[in-house]
Structure formats: structure tokens, C-alpha cells
Amino acid sequence: MRTFVAIDLDPEIKKKITLFIEKLDRFHPNIKWIKSQGMHLTLKFIGEIPENKAADIQVTLNDIASWHAGFPLKVVGTGIFPEGSRLPRVLWVGIENRSELIAVQKDLESKLEKLSIPREKRMFHPHLTLGRVKSAQNIAPVLEELSDHTNTRFGSMEVKKITFFKSVLKPSGAEYSVLSEIKLK
């Protein structure tokens, strides 16, 4: 089963981001936009695991959550990956107030590595994916609109839990289901 650990977003933040995506969608038809139910802040993509390994991961997630108190999370600004490119692959919304978030993510990397889950090779860059660019043709209006929102506030929330998700890839896009929600201390 394909799994990952993430922070599920408050409905109000999802609503604001969805409205922003609807605005961007008018400019460019060749972007696969994230649906509201798929909006989350991925902390650690685990990948394919045998079902019996989920219990070990759950124990580790419970330990990590017991070390971290809840913290504020602000969703602010927009950008692209790769940064500065005229041919972006990913459009995103940014995260502010990241020190507690980064501490949780580092503990996930460290402790899950002990369960033979490899560390991410890239540095953690907290963001929420808006869409994936399928074709860069006529992308300029989307990039202009994104650059107009580099300081836009999409909302804030108190992070009180992390979520262990299962992901099933389908032709219509990934479908997510919650394996468990783990409360922070």
C-alpha cells in the first residue's frame, strides 16, 4: 500500500485555495489542479509498504507526536518549482512559521529511517501543491497571476495532529484515505 504522513488542512483554508485555483484555471487548461479533498501538507512520503509494516509506522508516529506540542501554521504566498523557471512543473502555496513544522519533519525522517524508510534526498520545502503543469504552452498568464499573490494570506490554523494517509492512484487522480490521526501532545 502507498502511504505518506501529512497535515490535513482546515476546511476554511481549503476553501480559499480552491477559489484561487478556480481563478487560475481560467488562464490555462493544461494544468492538473489539486482537488479540495487532496489538499494536505506532506511531511513525509513513505511510498509502497506491506500492510503489516503500517503498525510499526503507527507506533513510531505515536512516539514522534508525543514529543511535539501543537503549533500555528500560516499559509502564505505562491511560487513554482523549479524556482525561477519559465517552464515550471509545480505551482504551489507557501507555508510561514516553519520551525515547529521542520522539527516534526526532521523527527519523521530520522525515526522512519530506522524502519528502513529512506530519507528524502531533497531538502524539505514546506508547501501545498496547487497543480502540476502538463504543458508550459501559454503559461505566462498563470505565472503573472501567481506573482501577484506572493504575499497573499490563505489562512492560518493550529496544527493539533498529524495524519497517516493511504493513497490509491487512479486514472482520475489519487484518492486518499486516513489510516490514522495522531494527536500532538
**Active-site residue set:** 40, 127
Supply the DSSP symbol for 40: E
- Determine how many CB atoms are found less than 10 A away from the CB of residue 155: 18
C-alpha separations of 29 from 21, 81, 87, 135, 166 in Å: 12, 19, 15, 9, 29
Burial class (CB in 10 A: 0-12, 13-18, 19+), 154: buried
Phi, psi of 28 (to 5 degrees): -150, 120
**CA 148, CA 169: separation in Å to the nearest integer?**
33
Give bridge partners of residue 79 from the DSSP assignment: 92
